[in-house]
Amino acid sequence: MIELKNVKKSYEKNVALNQVSFTINDGICFGLIGPNGAGKSTLMKVIAGITRKYEGKIFFNGKSIEKSRNEVKKSIGYVPQDLVLENTLTARDNLEFFGGVYGIQRNEIKEKVNKTLQDIGLEDRGDEAVKNYSGGMKRRLNIGCALMHNPQLVIMDEPTVGIDPQSRNYIYSIIKRLKSEGKTVIYSSHYMEEVQNLCEEMVLIDHGNILESGSVNKIIDKHSKPSIYIAGEDIKSEELQQFGKVKKLENGYQILSEDVLMTIKSISKYLLSNNKHVSQLEIYRMNLEDIFFMLTGKNLRDK
């Protein structure tokens, strides 16, 4: 559906996108992964046609976005990270406004609004002022505004930031429904577990450069190295260095090893002889966050 060729975007001396090239297939959720300031939002705005001045080429279903901008925009729904809602109006009013912006006929808007409210789980609160909504409800309505014209491509810029679990699950179900209808979703996040669970394909971006692109599973398989996870109350990083490269995780440590079984045996012997209390000691499969750290030397949420 989407093809980018050598896309470059700069803001004065700051290069936000540096010769970015990749493709996005139909009917999938495509993840954009990277820390704050990596270039994710800029990339999404370029694809959505919001940012127009850039170098390179972008094609939508084989058509140049630059040459067919008005036609292409009708097929794209863009969900910005910042809320685009009028808090003093109801959810229904907000949806009707965006329906008008997208050119939906007046005789169709009411039906479209009712369906969208149902899809985002707000049918019982549609006539209530948005100012009374929780943050998660506002996020869901923000998505609903971008779905009013039934777009083929939906671009979501970090839609689950700071929301409650119920709204997060609603957003996940919206994405799964869109995929089941053959729609394509571009999903930006710095929560690796979301991308790993929702997306079939992805790009990993940092400082405007693509570090990896392709199938999520293939990227994990390509970079995943044998490792061990260990957790315990009195275990310190320094004493684990003798067994391999150590990375601090949230509640324990990851140790890279080419022979995990022999390393586990050596660690066990050391722990027993030093009376160390261990809560977990197991073979560990690297995830996307581990791979990002391995490629960049920093955690995903580092500024």
The pLDDT tens digits for 277-290 are: 899 999 988 888 88
What percent of the chain shows pLDDT beyond 70? Answer: 98
Tokens describing residue 224 = 């995943």
C-beta of residue 232 within 8 angstroms of C-beta of residue 267: no
Measured in degrees and rounded to the nearest 5, phi and psi for residue 302 equal: -65, 140
Q: Which tens digit of pLDDT belongs to each residue from 30-72?
A: 999 888 888 999 999 999 988 888 999 999 988 888 888 778 8
pTM attached to this predicted model: 0.83
Q: Considering only 112-126, 227-241, 287-301, which range has the smallest mean pLDDT?
A: 287-301
Confidence (pLDDT) at 301: 57
Question: In whole angstroms, how large is the CA radius of gyration of the chain?
Answer: 23
Between strands 227-231 and 184-189, the pairing is unpaired
User: For residue 210, what are the β-bridge partners?
Assistant: 205
Confidence (pLDDT) at 12: 86
What percent of the chain shows pLDDT beyond 90? Answer: 64
In total, the chain counts a number of residues equal to 303
Q: Is the pLDDT of residue 163 over 60?
A: yes
Q: Which tens digit of pLDDT belongs to each residue from 123-159?
A: 999 999 999 999 999 999 999 999 999 999 999 999 9
